[in-house]
Amino acid sequence: MAPSAPFTEDEVARIRADFPILQQEVDGQPLTYLDSGATAQRPVQVLDAERAFLERDNAAVHRGAHTLAARSTDAYEDARATVARFVGAATPGEVVWTANATDALNLVAYGIANASRGRGGQAAERFRLGPGDEIVVTEAEHHANLVPWQELAALTGATLRWVPVADDGTWTAADAAAVITDRTRVVAFAHVSNVTGMVAPVAEVVAAAHAVGALVVLDACQSAPHRPLDVAHLDVDFAAFSGHKMLGPNGIGVLWGRADLLDALPPFRTGGSMITTVTMEASEYMPAPERFEAGTQPVSQAVALAEAVRYLQRLGTDRVLAHEEHLAQRMLDGLAAVPGIGVVGPPAGVPRSGLVSFDVDGVHAHDVAQYLDAQGIAVRSGHHCAQPLHRRLGLVATTRASTYVYTTAADVDRFVQAVGEVRAYFGAAEVTA
């Protein structure tokens, strides 16, 4: 099959027209939004879908027999089915609504912790961890896919091990295979790094993990919004992503898990909605996904996320990927011509996502971001919730520019031009010349 083409200028112009927030100026300059890796903007279709639900159908789901409750429940479960199809789930029941991706990853980690304490009965024994068992992550992980596993190790006595990264922040399948042993029980890693843009060798890591009977947990936060995602094809066991990074609302995330694993995993958040029988002495829980959705559910958010998924499907996730890879290469080429810029991540010619993190010699990342903001260009600065990775790279912080479906070539060129002015503005060019 021939590779997909990036969006044309006319197509991007039509896409941008769907995003009201982009039609503004910042400090007297037209807004160039290059922080979609942190939070994506929302098209009117998504905004309208949530508002229409709230104006017409809003009610508690899976409760009550009145018309609004029935319509609300239908919309909630239709949204689940839409997202399930989007990621290649076998059934809608493999999709669990969470507060965000961090919440989804904690759900898995603390579910395993509860199983290790004897909760969940015989079915949950497959998750039990203890001294001598190992959990494997990478040195490049977002804190959301590191701290929960640190806690799980502390709670169970298991050992946390990690795949080291090279000087550019990347790692290989061979690096992972060298850390995975017959004592490994969980392997957790990001599909796409939120700092380096590296695309992980998922197939090879999954094969190595499954060969020793380990579970694979995939952080798909930077992949689900930007490239085709088929969890069945990837053969992972769990995957997590968030709504706000993929044109959807805040306050909702997704945990996908294989049905047999979700049905066996003990819940870690309990209360209403997830029970079958409650006595004063004990409770029995519903099967997945309801067993993990305690309390009042994010109904309007689920409806809006489903509309975001439909929006991406109309664009074509293969073309979204092509568009962002094209822009990333344009950005890399432009920055390569700017003196004093150090880009982290895969070397030239290696596929990466549509984000680029970099260091400006002699200028702190926060100062870089503030200078760009004065030109109307929004980027991210800091350690991007990946302190161990930045420490390994010898950097306190980096500046990150990230693209999405509404980013234009002109946005990238304007960004590169502004970055080229930074060192002179702060006097760094003269100092290091």
Domains and CATH numbers, the chain: 9-43+316-423 (3.90.1150.10), 48-313 (3.40.640.10)
**251 close to 298: Cβ distance less than 8 angstroms:** yes
**Is residue 385 annotated as a catalytic residue, yes or no?**
yes
What single DSSP character describes residue 215? E
**Which residue among the candidates 70, 160, 212, 385 is catalytic per the annotation?**
385
The pTM assigned to this predicted structure is 0.97
Q: What does the pLDDT look like over 310-364, one tens digit per residue?
A: 999 999 999 999 999 999 999 999 999 999 999 999 987 888 999 999 999 999 9
| pLDDT in the model for residue 2 | 66
| pLDDT in the model for residue 433 | 45
**105 close to 239: Cβ distance less than 8 angstroms:** no
**113 close to 156: Cβ distance less than 8 angstroms:** yes
The three-class DSSP label of residue 163 is: strand
- Dump the DSSP string for 218-277: EE-TTTTTTS---HHHHT-SEEEEESTTTTS-SS-EEEEE-HHHHHHSPPSS-SSSSEEE
Q: How far apart are CA 378 and CA 119, in angstroms?
A: 47
Which residue numbers in the chain have pLDDT < 50? 433
Beta-bridge partners for 137 = 162
| pLDDT in the model for residue 430 | 60
Peptide bond into 298 cis (omega under 30): no
| pLDDT in the model for residue 354 | 96
What spatial distance separates the first Cα and last Cα of the chain, rounded to whole Å? 49
**395 close to 384: Cβ distance less than 8 angstroms:** no
